[in-house]
Amino acid sequence: MKSRFSEEQIIGFLKEAEVAIPLNELCRKYGFSDDSFHIRRSKFGGMDVSDAKRLKAMDQKTARLKKLLAETMLEREALEAVLRKKY
């Protein structure tokens, strides 16, 4: 699910919550629900912006590697099907 807030913004919200701004006031100020805040805190709690950027880069790399693996497996399957038909 795509968030309308960047990882940097979310981490900023979490830092504000740590500084004793009431949760309901913080949620009203930025326009998200308490549930959304807790979900974001479970994912990004305790992170710095550099950690979030590193996590995003790793997620992108993982997605690229999964795509390459799927393409390779598909090519292999197609080649095996061709070889089975020939013999």
pLDDT in tens, 5-33: 888 888 888 888 888 788 888 888 888 88
Tell me the one-letter amino acid at 44.
F
Give tens-digit pLDDT for 29-75. Answer: 888 888 988 888 888 888 888 988 898 899 999 999 999 999 999 99
pLDDT computed for residue 77 by the predictor: 95
> b vs e for 57-85, b when ≥16 Cβ sit within 10 Å of the residue's Cβ?
eeeeeeeeeeeeeeeeeeeeeeeeeeeee
